[in-house]
Structure 1
Amino acid sequence: MTALVSVFVAITVSLLVTRLAAEAIVLTGLSRQAAEFQARSAFTGAGFTTRESEQVTNHPARRQIVMLLMLFGNAGVISVISSLVLTFVSSADTRQAGWRFLILGVGLGLMWIISSNRLFNRYLTIFLRWGLRRWTKLDVRDYAKLLRLMKDYAVTELRVKSQDWLAGKRLDELQLRDEGIVILGIQRPDQTYIGAPHGETQIRAQDLLIVYGREDALSQLDSRRSGSVGDQDHRQAVAEQQQVENEENMRDKASQA
């Protein structure tokens, strides 16, 4: 039974460690989805893709967090496996082994229910963030809040293909701001990066664009193809953005009244 208890303790600590690490990575400016994936991958030793590895290794704070996760992960996985082996190998009685399987299943089920509870996760997040701000020197700016990444707005990446409406045009020709879209940066195929590109910057095939705007507008832009149909889609997107801006202005005036 002692070995079974140690299994639950090891799993609980593992969940808390990965959650704490994910919150720490979020505070360095990475999205929550990517942070949770990287934390769990590092803890279990599953590894990352090349691009995700660069996001970690190029940031000193993230690199340190992931190194600690790998260390704790190796120790935690080994502890759980050894405890499970001791729990069931040491039991010669079939009935006793069955009870231990039942206890293990119920315990894991309860842990899953608790870890999936929204209220529990919300308060746990508040506590972990408070602790990280209190006892660490992480860059704790909330980039999602700074960019207002809520409701309809998002930052995403678009890969430009040769048949896309964007390909081969300068930014001042595209007039994307009229659609409510801002290009924050461009990464060329040769890894050259252009931050805050100006109007004369040309979009090329295979460029990776970092763009900000409404999610539906970004989705439409990503699927827009060259030619007269693409030009018509652009004009329609401009009209839709004008309607959005008019509604926002009306709400702003109403709030001031």
Structure 2
Amino acid sequence: MLLFLSIYSVIIWAVIEIFVILFRLTGLKVEVSRFQVISMMTGTGFTTGESELILGHPVRRRLASFLILFGAFSLAVIISSISQFLSEGLRTKEILSAAAIAIAVFAILKLRGVQRLLERGFTGKITRKIELADLPMRDVFLKNKEDTLLDLHIYEDSELANRTLNEVAEDHDNLGLIALLIKRGDVRIVKNIYDTPIQEGDQILLFGPEKVISKTFVHDIQLMEEKQKKLHHSSEELP
């Protein structure tokens, strides 16, 4: 019984590492990949905000579907194997073969040439078959490491309040600063954004070089962070 559990643990470890590599090749960070792979296999923790990085990506969704099914079948295998062990003993040869196959696949995926081939395959598949609207916002906009997306919340004492974006960032075209939309309650403003007076409670989705956005809206960003910290602390103090 101990031998079976040890071998099966090796299989689970190999499957986890295989899918960590596959998710990383789609552009997901290693630490995020590992947590999400374990979450999907065990059916716990997958409701975190990071799961949107997987649900919004076509290739990752397919990998995730396999992992969720694998996790469900794994539990069934463990239960049936324990039952078989108690009744007539286990077939060690078959279990060792499964472990050897999983380790072999992992070793192959560690090869740099194989990873480059898969990475090109994933990218090509998305380019040919996936609509732009199906991709996560991160994959569409943040191709350049210098760029960022900012959801800027406006408060009564924000510098942007009662002003327009043209007044605050008149040279936005040359700076590469783009205002994607203004969210005002249930209304989304996408026309004449730069000439629309900003009101308290608005949310502005900004895209552009991180240094430019940080410098242009330094006061409003600091104010937003302070407000959100206070809100977080007050929610923690509630019984």
- After TM superposition, the score normalised by the length of structure 2 is 0.52
CA spacing shift, 1:140–1:186, aligned 2, 3 Å: closer
Instruction: Tell whether the 8 Å contact from 1:154 to 1:215 is kept in structure 2 after alignment.
Output: yes
Q: Which residue of 1 aligns with 2:237?
A: none
- Which digits, 9 at most, give the CA deviation of each residue in 1:111-133, with x for residues without a partner? 9xx99xxxx59666523323435
Instruction: Tell me how far apart the structure 2 counterparts of residues 124 and 72 of structure 1 sit (CA, whole Å).
Output: 23
CA spacing shift, 1:70–1:144, aligned 2, 3 Å: closer
Q: Which residue of 2 aligns with 1:130?
A: 120
Q: Which runs of 5+ in 2 are unaligned?
A: 87-102, 222-239
- Which of residues 4, 7, 11 in structure 2 aligns to 1:5? 7
Report the residue type matching 1:48 in the other structure: T
CA spacing shift, 1:132–1:57, aligned 2, 3 Å: closer
Q: Which residue of 2 aligns with 1:20?
A: 22
- The structural deviation recorded for 1:11 is 1.7
Instruction: Tell whether the 8 Å contact from 2:165 to 2:195 is kept in structure 1 after alignment.
Output: yes
- Which digits, 9 at most, give the CA deviation of each residue in 1:149-174, with x for residues without a partner? 12x33333333333221223222222
- Which of residues 202, 205, 222 in structure 1 aligns to 2:197? 202
Instruction: Tell whether the 8 Å contact from 1:154 to 1:213 is kept in structure 2 after alignment.
Output: yes
CA spacing shift, 1:216–1:135, aligned 2, 3 Å: closer
- Which digits, 9 at most, give the CA deviation of each residue in 1:58-105, with x for residues without a partner? 7777655544443234345x379x49x97xx99xxxxxxxxxxxxxxx
Number of residue pairs aligned between Structure 1 and Structure 2: 188
CA spacing shift, 1:178–1:131, aligned 2, 3 Å: closer
Instruction: Tell whether the 8 Å contact from 1:185 to 1:197 is kept in structure 2 after alignment.
Output: no
- SS of 1:149's equivalent in the other structure is coil
Please give the residue correspondences for 1:100-111 in structure 2 after superposition, counting only pairs within 5 Å: none
- Which of residues 145, 159, 166 in structure 2 aligns to 1:165? 159
Instruction: Tell whether the 8 Å contact from 1:169 to 1:202 is kept in structure 2 after alignment.
Output: yes
Q: Which runs of 5+ in 1 are unaligned?
A: 91-110, 227-257
2:149 matched to 1:139? no
- Which of residues 72, 88, 96 in structure 2 aligns to 1:74? 72
CA spacing shift, 1:63–1:15, aligned 2, 3 Å: same
- After TM superposition, the score normalised by the length of structure 1 is 0.50
- The structural deviation recorded for 1:44 is 4.2
- Which of residues 174, 186, 211 in structure 1 aligns to 2:206? 211
CA spacing shift, 1:163–1:47, aligned 2, 3 Å: farther
- SS of 1:188's equivalent in the other structure is strand
